[in-house]
Structure 1
Amino acid sequence: MTPTDGKPGRRRGQELENALLDAAWDELNDHGYGAFTIDAVAQRAGTSRAVLYRRWPTRDELAQAAITHAVRTVVRTVPDTGSLRGDLIAMLLDFNETRSQFAAMLSVHLGAFYAETGQTIADLRRSIVREESGPTVQEIYDRAAARGELDPDRLTPRIANLPFDLYRHDIMVTLQPLSEAAVVEIVDDIFLPLVRPRPA
């Protein structure tokens, strides 16, 4: 039913949950986990503590849910430029727009979260990755292998993750998006020589 008094209707279901998680994410970004409380999120979301506690009994569960929700809301695309080099450069530069804030959050704002829960950045990242869906970099590698640009036998799991691990490392150290020159260096000088087919 549409309200007749000009005020927004009561939020329910997924709409309410999204609003709560958006508020929690904003609270983490503004104040970090050290000052993160259920009360503060409830006030920001314009709701009661009980509404939050019914869904997330502890603040660490709420924080982790908020981070996962924020990742899910980012529209993920896998570039198809026609070359492995072009695809990886395009994807890493896109991460500057979509992922650099997450990297800063994981390294700067969540120190108290790791101390309180015993988790590490790697643990949190793995739990987020498990929740992600949609296109993945494996599509880029599969296309490149079909074009003969990489040797699948040389693409070990560690090497497959290497461009993104290097990207995340720089972001977490500098708290700044990577320059295009740094992205090109990761792809051209470090990654591609490791996966190109060896001469017969």
Structure 2
Amino acid sequence: MQPPDTGELRADVLELLRGANRHWSSPLGAVLHELMAAAGGAAEFLAQLPEQSTDSVAATWLTVLGRAVARGEASPEALHPRVATVAVVLLRNEFVVRGVPTVPDEVLVEIADEVCLPLVRQRGATAG
């Protein structure tokens, strides 16, 4: 997946979340949910799914965050894989833990506005 480049962090985050939501809400996504549940989230299994791999997901989010840092929209300290992927992990939680077939757009906006954006913007202010 090519990282979005809208020129604005919030729009990029929402585009990534909406794309992941569409993917996980699709028939293929439903199959992946079942396989992940059957595998118990086994790292070996997840590593065999290129679009689900932690490294590729983190790379996409780090690219988006890197652009935001360059534009002054995010703190350089936010360029950490766990920070970068917090939004998509919360989205995945909706599917895996709550078992929803699709996540409402207002939840995606809430993840972006209430968790992801404050975290990456304030990361440097709390460091040190």
TM-score if structure 2 supplies the norm length? 0.74
Match of 1:158 in 2: 82
Match of 1:99 in 2: 24
List runs of 5+ in structure 1 lacking aligned partners: 1-75, 115-119
What whole-Å deviation, never above 9, does each CA across 1:63-122 have from its counterpart, x for those lacking one? xxxxxxxxxxxxx2322211111101011112222233455334335555x2xxxxx415
Contact 1:145/1:152, CA 8 A, preserved across alignment? yes
Match of 2:14 in 1: 89
Indicate how the Cα distance of structure 1 residues 157 and 138 shifts in structure 2: closer, same or farther if over 3 A, else same: closer
Residue of 144, 168, 185 corresponding to 2:68:
144
Please tell me the root mean square deviation across aligned C-alpha atoms, in Å.
Answer: 2.8
Within 5 Å, which residues of 2 pair with 1:9-158?
Answer: 76-101=1-26, 102-109=28-35, 111-112=37-38, 114=39, 120-123=40-43, 124-128=45-49, 129=53, 136-158=60-82
List runs of 5+ in structure 2 lacking aligned partners: none
The higher-RCO structure (CA 8 Å, 6+ apart) is 2
Deviation at residue 170 of structure 1 after TM alignment: 0.4
Deviation at residue 192 of structure 1 after TM alignment: 1.1
Letter in 1 for 2:5: D
Deviation at residue 130 of structure 1 after TM alignment: 7.5
CA distance in 1 between partners of 2:77 and 2:36 (Å): 38
CA distance in 1 between partners of 2:23 and 2:30 (Å): 12
3-state SS in 1 of match to 2:73: coil
Match of 1:58 in 2: none
Contact 1:103/1:168, CA 8 A, preserved across alignment? no
CA distance in 1 between partners of 2:111 and 2:65 (Å): 16
3-state SS in 2 of match to 1:189: helix
TM-score if structure 1 supplies the norm length? 0.50
Q: What count of residue pairs does the alignment treat as equivalent? A: 117
